[in-house]
Every structure is written in structure tokens, then in C-alpha cells.
Amino acid sequence: MKKIIDFIQLNGKALVLIIAIVTAFMSVRLGEIEMKEDEETFISPNSPVLKEFREFKKTFESNEGVIVAFESPNIFTVENFKYIEKLEAELNKLPGVTNVNSLISANNVNGVEEGLEIYPVIELVDITEANVEKAKEKVIGNQFYEGVYISQNQKVTALIIELPGMFSGGSDSLAKLFYKKLTNLVNTQELETGLRLYIGGDIVTDASIEQLMDKDLALLFPLSLLLSAIILLFFYRKLVTTIVPLVPVLIAIVWVLGLKGWTGVPMTPISITLFPLIMVIGLANSIHIINHYKRERQFESNNSEAITKTLQAIIKPCFLAAFTTAIGFGSLAISDVTGIKQMGIFAAFGVMSAFLLSIIIIPLSLKYSNVFAESKPNIQSRNSITRLLLGIDRLNHLHSWKVMLVFLAITVAIVINIPKIKVEGSMASFAKENTRLRQDIKFLDSNMSGINAYELIIKGSENSFKNPENLTKLDEIARELSENSEVLKTFSAADMVKTINKALHANNTDYYSIPCTETEIAQYLFLYEISGGDELSSFVNEDYSVARVTIRTSQMPNKMQKEFVSSLESLMLSNFGGMDCEITGFGMLMNHINENLISTQVESILMAFGIILILMFIMFGFKGGLLSILPNVFPILFFMGLMGIFGIDLNMATSIIAAVTIGIVVDDTIHFFFGYKNEMQNVNNPAIAVTNTMLKVGTALCVTSLILTLGFGILVFSNSKFIGDFGIMSASAIASALLGDIFISPIVLIKSKLFKK
């Protein structure tokens, strides 16, 4: 340890130069960091679920769909149809758009003497009341219109915009440009017409979240910086000790961002938290160093000696505190959720970088500024924090069992609410309730067939899905699913075949069924194709060996999703047990993400807890290691209970709190136990040692906990509900951890007589 301290003091200027060089190197790639939010943010690229989803999109040449909808007391008026025509023309001008479908451009299948005729629902050259009424007759009750282009109450209509997907020339830059132009068009139309336009789709969700990320970056980082500076100025009243502690964490943030730039890892919704996290966590090291140096400087005439003694006392606990925090973050690397894994790795790197920078920059700045040189020892001087700590210490000594019973009662009362926690992996819930994204999705879910979809993929041999038996099975699946209140709409090749059969029999509803022979079906499908029909490729592949059943559902909680997927598996097994079947779609991705969130919570807690417990055994022995865990159980159970009480979901952000909290809250315990161990070597009296530790370490614990609590608390100002929940829960965990360390730790140490000679 002495060699490290001497090296820092003797080679300060060289170390600062090295830091400057590394910072300059990291800064080179800052401008190359991408903002990204897509399926790979939440699922590993190697996940079978993601591979199946992409294979499905490739097989059916699936384009990205964006919905634009509006509401009117009666959609079927001449004015509304003319506006739909105008709006469709404007949407077709947007960049990347390959097609726009609506009530006026959707095709109707009709039987004629020569076979089939496919034409628009309404002729645009003659939009009259009579023609609008005829269009209404064709639309109402039609499987392919209701819930897609028109709501069941006929008060909402939608236009479906098609853009190239991943396998047909789509790109991230094109999607962003499209979204920008779309929102501009929507804003203009709303001002001109007074109508409220509702938009939805994966592209809209992704782009909206990226905008929220940009706003968070512009807000949260400056706010955390300002808050930290105000707290430092309030407690130390020195310009040096206000500005200098911010330097290591700012450099650490540059290093983290630079590493992202060099490795090509993008910014994701959850990684936005890196800025305030590193800011407030990294400051803890500086505060402990400054606080200890301020006390040593009162008794040392030599500035260098005060710094040496400070580093001798502080390096080891600060390193271990930073290391355990890094372990908490690092444990997230085992997650299958890509965004969480990346966030954990980069946060761990940032925390250790902040520690390294702090033990170099802070001592050097204290040495050359000679701050606190005028400080004189004054034992009688008691600030408000010291008086509070002495009061708590007296309470712990006089009423230790009562204090422990109070904490036990609080723990029991709050733990019973943990089972109430729900899982929510939907990206729509990333945004707050009052955001336009959430309002639009809620409207589309309520009035149309929603934006959440599951896809059943059934693979057979060539022409399998010209077989009437297999088509009847597809129809049976749709019929059974229609009995589920969460299912808004289903589509399959069976629906198309039934529609063609009905059209060829003078639209007689008795013929809305599957023909009896494969020959008939083949003839009908051929007739449909030569008549200009192009919808079949959405339901079957070219050789009719693979069929798709699209199931539109409302947004479901995790438990209901699992039950729904299980029912889909049973349906496929009972109908197509001899064929290769799979379930995919965006709904399946969300279901998989939710499962990963739960496993992330459990596995990261166990990993972080196990590694930190081993470190505690090494630092404080077997007995000390076990005892050090007691004050840290309380904050973890506390915040999990609060999640159940206040209905805060387990999502991509909150799923990481437990592992992160273990790493952070144990920092205070390490500093308290180290301080107590040193005092026991001098006084060998548990009661006196606890009191001395409370006075010497307690102030720094209170200041760092205040900064951490407020630093996490500012996340509530995030535009994201995920990040806001993360901030509230983390702040509550830090605050409750401080209570555990100034109430539970002292009592445990006194009663156990740990480290007594």
C-alpha cells in the first residue's frame, strides 16, 4: 500500500499526463456513438426467438407497417372519404413509402361471369353519397376491413403505410427520416383540419423512444452535475472541493462514451442512466477522501503527511467499495437482454475508472491547493450531522433491541407486498402515460386491431396449404382464438380462400367456407392471381408449403402472455401435430424479453451477492462476512416491497436495481466495518469503537448517501417511465441502506463484539 501511495505522490504530473492522453484517445470516437432501439437492444442476436422472427419476416417479405388513424362521428361521409384520399396522397409522398392502403385503395374481390374481378371499394372519380353507402355495404362485416381500416363502431378509420423492412432495403436512417417527415405531416394536418391523428407501429415506437432518449441526455446529465456541485459546495464551502471532485467523474464518463465509440456499442434506452449513475457513484470516492483529509489536516502541519495518512486509511475501503459496486453492475453481463448486459459492463468500467481517477486527481489537487490548511482541531464543534449521528448512537446503545424490532417489523410489513410485483416488457410502456406515444397506442388498441401480433408458422410439404383439410384446420384455429377476449383479429390463407369462394358464388354467405376439394382450391387461387390479386404472399409462401396465421392481440401482462402462448402451442399441436410449427412475431419477442427480465433479476442478484459475500469473508473473516450482510438485506427487501405497494412493474430498467443496489449499498457497510475494525485496534471496546466510527465515518456516509439518493432521484424527471421508476426505487434503496448502516450495523457490531482482541 505504501508503494502505491508513494508512487501517486512522486509521479503525480506523469499520471495526469497519462490521464490526459487516454482521455484524448477516448474522445476521438465520441461523435461516432449511435442512438439505437430495436429488437437487438433487448434480445441477443444469437437468440433462437430472434432468429425465428427474422426468418418469418424474410419468408413473407414482411414490410414495416405504420398506422395513421383518425376519429369521426361517422366515417362514411363524402367529406371523410375525400379527406382520406387527400391524406393517402400526402402519405405516399413520404420517404421510403412503398404503398399506402385505406378504405379508398383497399381492393374488393367480386365474382363475375368471366371469373373474378378485383377493384377498389370506391371509385375515386365519383365520391358521392350513393357510392359511399355502397362502399359501406362492402366493408361492414368484411374480415379484411373491420379492425384494419375501420373500427367496429365505424367511427375510426386507419391508413396503413408500408415501408421496406430489414430484408427489403430498409435502413435505420430511412426509418428516422420517414418518422421526422411523418410527424411534421401529422402536425400540419392537425392544425389545418382540427382532427387528432393517431400513429403507431414499430418504427413509430422506436423513433419516439429515441427522441425521449435525446431529451433525457439533454436534461439528466446537466441536472446531476448541478445537483452534485450544490451539495459539495454546501458541505465543504470551498471552490476547490466543489469543482475538483467533479473532474474524475466527468473524465470517467468521457472514457465510457469513448469505449462505446471504439467498440461500436450504441446508446440504448437503459444506458441513458450511465451519466447520472457514474456521476453520483463516482463522487463517493472523492467525498471519502476529502472528508478524511479534512480531519487529518487539522492535526498535521505537513500537507503531504496529511495526504499520505488519508490515502493509507482510505484507499483500501474505497477500492473495495468501488469494486463491489462494479461487481453489482458486472453481474448484469450474464443477462440475455442485450441492453442490460451492455449497460452493466460499461457501468462497471465507469465506476472503476472513476475510482482510479479519484485517488490520483483528488489527492494531487488537495496537495497543491493546500485547502483546509487553516483548519484547527476543535473537539467541541458539532455540526448538525454530527449531533444527529450522536443522537442515533445514543439510541442504539440504550434501546438496541427496540431498534432491531422496529426494523424487523418494517421488513415483514413490506416483504408481504413483493408477490404483487408484475412484469412489463412492452416497449410502449417505456414512455410515461401522458406521452403521445402511450396515448396513441392505447387508442389504436381500443379501436383497431392493435399493434401487438403473434405469428403461427406451419411448415409442410409442397402444396400442403391447397389441401382443404389443412385450410380447415387453419380456420378452426382462428375460430377458437376468436373466443379469447384478448384476441382482436386473426388472418390466414383460409380467410382468403373463403372470400374467393364466396365471391365466385354471387357473394352468397353460405359459400363463405373452404371448398371440398384440392382441385377447386387450386383453381380458385389461380383465378385470383391472374385477376391481379396480390395478397396471397402475405399468408403462404410461393409453393404453398408454409402458412402463416397472424393474431392481433391487446397488450397483455406477463402472466397472461405466458398462458396465451401455452394455449397457442396446444392449438398447433392438436391441429398440426405432424408438421413443423413455431410461434413468432413481435408479441413472442416481448414474451421472451419478459422471461429474460425475471431471470436477469434472479441470476444477477445471486451472482452479485455470492461474489460480494466472498469478498466480505476475505475482508472481515467468516463471522464478519456474515454479519456485514445483515444491514444490506433490509434495503433490497425494502425497495422490492415498495415496487409491489406502488405497482411499479419489473421492466428492463427496474430488473437491474437489485444487483446494482447490492453493489452500492454494501459500500457504506465496508467503510463502517473498516472504520470500526481500525478503532477496535486502538480501544478494544465495541461501544467506544462504534461511537468513534459513527463520528469519523458517519458524516461521509451521510453526504455520499444524500448525493446518491438525490442523484438517483433526479431520474424521476426522465421522459421515460422505465428510467423514472428506476430512479425512484434506487433512491429508496440508497436511503434505506443508510438507515441500515447507521442503525443495524452498530448494534450488530456491539452485540457480536467483532474484532475484539
Mean pLDDT check: name the lowest of 337-341, 401-405, 512-516: 337-341
- Report pLDDT for 9: 77
Q: What is the 3-state secondary structure (H, E, C) of 78-106?
A: HHHHHHHHHHHHHHHCCCCCCEEECCCCC
364-378 tens-digit pLDDT: 888 888 777 665 555
Percent of the chain with pLDDT over 70: 91
Please tell me which of 179-188, 310-319, 729-738 the model is most confident about, judged by mean pLDDT: 179-188
Q: pTM for the whole thing? A: 0.73
Categorize the per-residue pLDDT at 86 as very low, low, confident or very high, splitting at 50, 70 and 90: very high
- Report pLDDT for 252: 93
**Amino acid letter, residue 424:** E
Rounded Cα gap, residues 570 and 562, in angstroms:
13
Report the pLDDT averaged over residues 326-348: 83
Q: What is the 3-state secondary structure (H, E, C) of 334-398?
A: HCCCHHHHHHHHHHHHHHHHHHHHHHHHHHHHHHHHCCCCCCCCCCCCCCHHHHHHHHHHHHHHH
Categorize the per-residue pLDDT at 197 as very low, low, confident or very high, splitting at 50, 70 and 90: very high
User: What DSSP character marks residue 458?
Assistant: E
Rounded Cα gap, residues 478 and 495, in angstroms:
9
Describe the chain by its helix, strand, coil percentages, rounded to 5.
Answer: 70, 10, 20
- Report pLDDT for 379: 44
Whether 39 shows a pLDDT value over 70: the answer reads no
User: What DSSP character marks residue 742?
Assistant: I
Whether 251 shows a pLDDT value over 90: the answer reads yes
554-611 tens-digit pLDDT: 777 767 888 888 899 898 888 888 899 999 987 888 777 777 766 766 777 777 778 8
* Residues whose CB falls within 8 Å of the CB of residue 533, separated by 6 or more in sequence, listed in order: 107, 109, 116, 118
- Report pLDDT for 114: 64
- Report pLDDT for 70: 94
- Report pLDDT for 40: 62
Neighbours of 756 (CB within 10 A): 11
Neighbours of 370 (CB within 10 A): 12
- Report pLDDT for 358: 92
Q: What is the Cα 673 distance to its own chain's centre?
A: 35
Whether 42 shows a pLDDT value over 80: the answer reads no
- Report pLDDT for 43: 74
What is the number of residues in the chain?
757
Cell numbers found for residue 336: 440475455
The three-class DSSP label of residue 563 is helix
Q: What is the Cα 617 distance to its own chain's centre?
A: 34
Whether 103 shows a pLDDT value over 70: the answer reads yes
389-399 tens-digit pLDDT: 899 999 999 99
Closest CA relative to residue 121, chosen from 147, 148, 102: 102
Whether 169 shows a pLDDT value over 60: the answer reads no
210-248 tens-digit pLDDT: 777 777 777 877 888 888 888 888 877 788 888 888 999
Degrees (nearest 5) of the Cα angle 435, 441, 442? 90
Whether 124 shows a pLDDT value over 70: the answer reads no
Backbone angles phi, psi at 76, to 5 degrees: -85, 70
Mean pLDDT check: name the lowest of 38-52, 612-626, 669-683: 38-52
659-703 tens-digit pLDDT: 677 777 788 888 889 889 888 988 889 999 999 999 888 888 888
Rounded Cα gap, residues 346 and 20, in angstroms:
20
Closest CA relative to residue 278, chosen from 342, 312, 322: 322
Rounded Cα gap, residues 205 and 40, in angstroms:
15
Q: Which residue has the higher pLDDT, 349 or 290?
A: 349
* Residues whose CB falls within 8 Å of the CB of residue 583, separated by 6 or more in sequence, listed in order: 454, 455, 456, 457, 565, 568, 569, 572
Whether 18 shows a pLDDT value over 90: the answer reads yes
**Amino acid letter, residue 186:** V
The three-class DSSP label of residue 492 is coil
Categorize the per-residue pLDDT at 167 as very low, low, confident or very high, splitting at 50, 70 and 90: very low
- Report pLDDT for 597: 67
Whether 423 shows a pLDDT value over 80: the answer reads no
Contact criterion met (CB below 8 Å) for 587 and 452: yes
Report the pLDDT averaged over residues 414-422: 85
Rounded Cα gap, residues 31 and 451, in angstroms:
34
Rounded Cα gap, residues 429 and 42, in angstroms:
14
Report the pLDDT averaged over residues 628-647: 85
Rounded Cα gap, residues 661 and 160, in angstroms:
45
Our separate counts of H helices and E strands in the chain read 25, 10
